[in-house]
Amino acid sequence: MSPPGPGRILAGVVLVLVVGLSVLAGIAPAGERRAGSVLAVDPQARTLTVDEFGANAERRALRVQVPREAVVLLSQRNQAGRDAKDSFRDSSITLADVRVGDFVVIEMSEDPEVARLVMITLRRGAGS
């Protein structure tokens, strides 16, 4: 097998730089998950603001749009669950049901400022 030519090496370097810069800039690729405590919910504007720890453990307020077609779920432990498959129950809720202080996981869409899925994994004040 022959060594890669200069064109392939340059393409690889460019790809690494683009990915690295997007991570440094805080751009979320499609499907990336973000998580944090809810700071604000605006059901009319369809926005959610989350307190998240970003790169280098820096806290920041992440504001995302939650379109009507996005899935919003409440995930709760199923005490009767016998294995990993049925340990949690997910139920659909509306964005208006999300409360300040809830801990959420957000799956981003193609647009780095738009959520595809919002899942409450811990309700404010709920024990473990």
> What single-letter amino acid sits at 53?
F
The most distant pair of C-alpha atoms in the chain lies apart, rounded to whole Å, by 61
Q: Answer yes or no: do 67 and 109 share one domain.
A: yes
Q: Answer yes or no: do 5 and 35 share one domain.
A: no
What is the reported pTM?
A: 0.70
Q: Answer yes or no: do 64 and 75 share one domain.
A: yes
CA atoms within 13 A on the CB side of 20: 6
List the pLDDT tens digit at each of the 128 positions of the chain: 455 554 444 444 444 444 444 444 455 556 799 999 999 999 999 999 999 987 778 899 999 999 999 999 999 887 776 776 777 889 999 999 999 999 999 999 999 899 999 999 999 876 64
Is 85 within a domain?
yes
Q: What is the CA radius of gyration of the chain?
A: 19
Range of the domain at 20: 1-29
Q: Which residues contact 114 (CB under 8 A, 6 or more apart)?
A: 64, 65, 66, 67, 70, 108
Instruction: Give CA–CA dist 127/77, Å, rounded.
Output: 11
Is 103 within a domain?
yes
